Chains A and B, each alone.
Chain A
């Protein structure tokens, strides 16, 4: 079945260091979405990438969608303590119009001050 894999599962960095999480799909995706879940909170939508090779930036966050539309990455430059949380990627169910998403297991980011 369709799967979305995400690595690493955990990442601990010192404030100011960079951070990257990687997402790979078993199938070609029409789009990929990224979510952030703060500790104790619920996932919040960050961004959607649609085009092959697309790169989008949100301040210190850079999102990339691979040329084959099967992988994606989120890179945070100079992490801050406010970046703490779990980052999930998600891809839509292939051939479905139901809005069902396959979520990666997430990367839990800890930032030491």
Chain B
């Protein structure tokens, strides 16, 4: 069966520090992968999606970037975090429906 992992589960970072969030999928090959951000009590904002290794599409301009170095690995990064980057970051993969990882709760202070 397929599983999706995200880490860390929670993260507190100072403004201006770098960020690296990792997502890995097991049990499937060549999945479509997605990064979402969810502000407290809000909906899901799609940040990036990828259909294959090295292929990244960005949905909104921001100081975040994504990379897909391996088929089942998706990384979200930032060189310098802003306060507004705080939120709940969700990775997902899809077949027809989307399967979400447990998420990373990021607080930027």
Q: Which residues of A contact B (CB under 8 A)?
A: 31, 33, 35, 41-45, 48, 88, 90, 98-101, 103-106, 108
Contact = CB atoms under 8 A, between A and B. Distances in A.
Interface in B12-50: 32, 34, 41-44, 46, 49
A55 B100 CA distance: 25
B84 to A, nearest CB: 19
B87 to A, nearest CB: 13
B76 to A, nearest CB: 15
A23 B61 CA distance: 27
A42 B103 contact: yes
Contacts of A90: 98
A99 B96 contact: yes
B98 A99 contact: yes
A98 B100 CA distance: 16
A43 B46 contact: no
Contacts of A98: 32, 49, 51
19 contacts: A41-B102, A41-B103, A42-B90, A42-B100, A42-B101, A43-B90, A43-B100, A44-B100, A45-B97, A45-B98, A48-B96, A98-B51, A99-B49, A99-B98, A100-B34, A100-B49, A101-B98, A105-B42, A108-B41
